[in-house]
Amino acid sequence: MNKQTQNESLARGLSDRHIQLIAIGGAIGVGLFLGSASAIQAAGPALVLSYAIGGIIIFFIMRALGELILYKPVSGSFSTYATEMIGPWAGFITGWTYWFMWVVTGMAEITAVGIYVNTWFPNIPQWIPALIALVAVYLVNLIAVKAFGEVEFWFALIKVATILVLIVVGLVMITTGWGNNGEAVGFSNLWEHGGFMPKGITGVLFALQMVMFAFLGVEMVGIAAGEAQNPEKTIPSAVNKIIWRILIFYIGALIVILSLYPWNQLDGKTSPFVLTFAKIGIPAAASIINFVILTAALSSCNSGIFSTGRMLYTLAGQNHAPQALHYVSRRQVPSRGITVSAIVLLFGVVLNYFIPEKAFTYITSVATFGALWVWGIILYAHIKFRKKHQPTSFKMPGTPWTNWIGIIFLIGVGALLSLEESTRIALYVAPIWFGILALSYQLVRRYNKNDA
């Protein structure tokens, strides 16, 4: 370990409310506000089944992660657990895959910030708000972990408030007819237009890939746990509430939207949230939702800088990255890891303007497969943990059967990526990525042996 950092560690500056809102923020992404329209087209009203199935699997993954966190609440989280329970190679591949997954996600979100701001200020070049956003979240993450938690708290609160307003106002419209000339809509739109499952079971299955990637980021609670003030109390509470949050925020919002609008009248392009707010007579509906989506994108960027900085810090501590990155500043944040990640993100924003859109899709497809890998590793590392150690007070229910159900499900979602041309590329790019990592691991291991 670097002599500079032997007596230094990350600060436990995240309170219970920070962890709770980070968990909510991780579970609610841009996908719900923007991507739900295309998912509705894929499955119709039966999309709620896709979210219910996906939500149960996410709950299993988070319960497995929760027990591992209580065993060892560290910032490296699943990379550290993979190293200890499975082997150093698993920790190396998982850590670097997660880092890359968040970097490319951050590139896409930073670019999106420019696009969202451009709808209000079309004369401002897109790269200016993108750069401002990147610098802002970079500085927030350098200040202190509490600053990150506070910003993430308010971003998550905006998303939660928007969804709750939609659900409450939507239910009033459905039951009383307010905003619909006094005629109550009721819930009949859920089954009147081709039935509840108009695209059959294949529609439900096809939507699963979109549903699962809407949940991308929920595992960030594991990264935050290493800096939680009281992980033994806050982590079980946050994890157990995830299933209820999915039921309320995702399924509740979708039931309201699909009751107000026949699924076959949603064009797949316009956000259902915009349509709903416009229907109740809010003239600035599009601008309001644009602001919410903007905060969701900024939240993702903020989380990306936070996660990648911690993962580089952990990888360096395992001798899987340059030792200089295993450094904690006076403010007890991994400043060098944060800075390197921000520089790579900046390069990605620039790159995004020069390479074709298809080429960028190829890169981001690795992030798609990366999420499946990380979630699968969490479930498998937990199986190995229970073979080696006594269960903690926060036992994963039904293990190892629930673990294997989750792993098989994730493999199935990976197979579903082959059904559509836009996602099929992930199955071609992923083996190349994992091949590069396997070769890199051999080189790093040889270097560490020679350096010993």
What does the DSSP assignment read for 326-373? S---TTSS-HHHHHHHHHHHHHHHHHHHHS-HHHHHHHHHHHHHHHHH
pLDDT band at 451 (very low <50, low <70, confident <90, very high): low
Q: Residue 337, Cβ neighbours under 10 Å: how many?
A: 27
Answer whether residue 452 shows pLDDT above 60: no
pLDDT band at 382 (very low <50, low <70, confident <90, very high): very high
398 part of a folded domain: no
Answer whether residue 185 shows pLDDT above 60: yes
CB 31 within 8 A of CB 210: yes
309 part of a folded domain: yes
Answer whether residue 205 shows pLDDT above 70: yes
- Give the pLDDT score at 363: 72
- Give the pLDDT score at 410: 96
- Give the pLDDT score at 355: 72
Q: What is the DSSP letter of 32?
A: I
Question: What is the distance between the alpha carbons of residues 19 and 239, in angstroms, rounded to a whole number?
Answer: 10
Q: Residue 449, Cβ neighbours under 10 Å: how many?
A: 8
Question: Averaging pLDDT over each range in 23-37, 103-117, 309-323, which range is the top one?
Answer: 309-323
Mean of pLDDT values over 113-140: 88
222 part of a folded domain: yes
The pair of structure tokens assigned to 43 is 């499955």
Please report, rounded to a whole number, the percentage of residues in the chain having pLDDT higher than 90: 34
Q: Tell me which residue range forms the domain holding 117.
A: 13-77+100-351
Q: What count of Cα atoms within 13 Å lies in the side-chain half-sphere of residue 265?
A: 12
Instruction: List all residues 6 or more positions away from 353 whose beta carbon is below 8 Å from its beta carbon.
Output: 127
- Give the pLDDT score at 181: 67
Instruction: List all residues 6 or more positions away from 7 whose beta carbon is below 8 Å from its beta carbon.
Output: none
218 part of a folded domain: yes
Place of tokens 């390479």: 355
Question: What is the distance between the alpha carbons of residues 163 and 45, in angstroms, rounded to a whole number?
Answer: 18
Question: What is the distance between the alpha carbons of residues 25 and 133, in angstroms, rounded to a whole number?
Answer: 18
Place of tokens 């696009």: 115
Residue 14 phi, psi dihedral angles, 5° rounding? -95, 120
Answer whether residue 94 shows pLDDT above 90: yes
Q: Which amino acid is at 299?
A: S
375 part of a folded domain: no
- Give the pLDDT score at 248: 85
Let me know if 45 is exposed, middle or buried by CB neighbors in 10 A (0-12, 13-18, 19+).
buried
Mean of pLDDT values over 374-385: 97
Question: What is the distance between the alpha carbons of residues 36 and 49, in angstroms, rounded to a whole number?
Answer: 14
CB 94 within 8 A of CB 370: no
Question: What is the distance between the alpha carbons of residues 234 and 440, in angstroms, rounded to a whole number?
Answer: 37
CATH number at residue 284: 1.20.1740.10
Q: Is the dihedral of CA 348, 350, 355, 356 positive or negative?
A: positive
pLDDT band at 35 (very low <50, low <70, confident <90, very high): low
Mean pLDDT of the chain: 85
- Give the pLDDT score at 69: 92
Question: What is the distance between the alpha carbons of residues 376 and 447, in angstroms, rounded to a whole number?
Answer: 29
Q: What count of Cα atoms within 13 Å lies in the side-chain half-sphere of residue 302?
A: 29
Q: What pLDDT digit, counting tens, does each position of 248-282 carry?
A: 888 998 999 888 888 888 776 677 777 777 777 77
Q: Residue 229, Cβ neighbours under 10 Å: how many?
A: 15
Instruction: List all residues 6 or more positions away from 172 whose beta carbon is below 8 Å from its beta carbon.
Output: 178
Instruction: List all residues 6 or more positions away from 139 whose beta carbon is below 8 Å from its beta carbon.
Output: none
438 part of a folded domain: no
Answer whether residue 299 shows pLDDT above 70: yes
Q: What H or E segment, with its residue span, contains residue 131?
A: helix 127-143
Q: Residue 251, Cβ neighbours under 10 Å: how many?
A: 17
Q: What pLDDT digit, counting tens, does each position of 307-356 carry?
A: 999 999 999 999 999 999 989 888 888 999 999 999 999 887 787 677 76
Answer whether residue 213 shows pLDDT above 60: yes
Q: Is the dihedral of CA 38, 42, 47, 53 positive or negative?
A: negative
Structural domains in the chain (count): 1
Can you say how many angstroms the Cα of residue 194 is from the centroid of all Cα atoms in its chain?
A: 33
- Give the pLDDT score at 2: 39
- Give the pLDDT score at 182: 64
- Give the pLDDT score at 7: 34
Question: What is the distance between the alpha carbons of residues 298 and 113, in angstroms, rounded to a whole number?
Answer: 7
Q: What pLDDT digit, counting tens, does each position of 417-431 carry?
A: 888 777 788 888 889
SS (H, E, C) 180-234: CCCCCCCCHHHCCCCCCCCCHHHHHHHHHHHHHHHCCCCCHHHHHHHHECCHHHH
Question: What is the distance between the alpha carbons of residues 135 and 112, in angstroms, rounded to a whole number?
Answer: 15
140 part of a folded domain: yes
CB 409 within 8 A of CB 209: no
Residue environment code for 342-359, b if the CB has 16+ CB neighbours within 10 A, otherwise e: bebbbebbeebeeeeeee
- Give the pLDDT score at 377: 97
- Give the pLDDT score at 179: 65
Mean of pLDDT values over 291-296: 87
383 part of a folded domain: no
SS3 14: strand
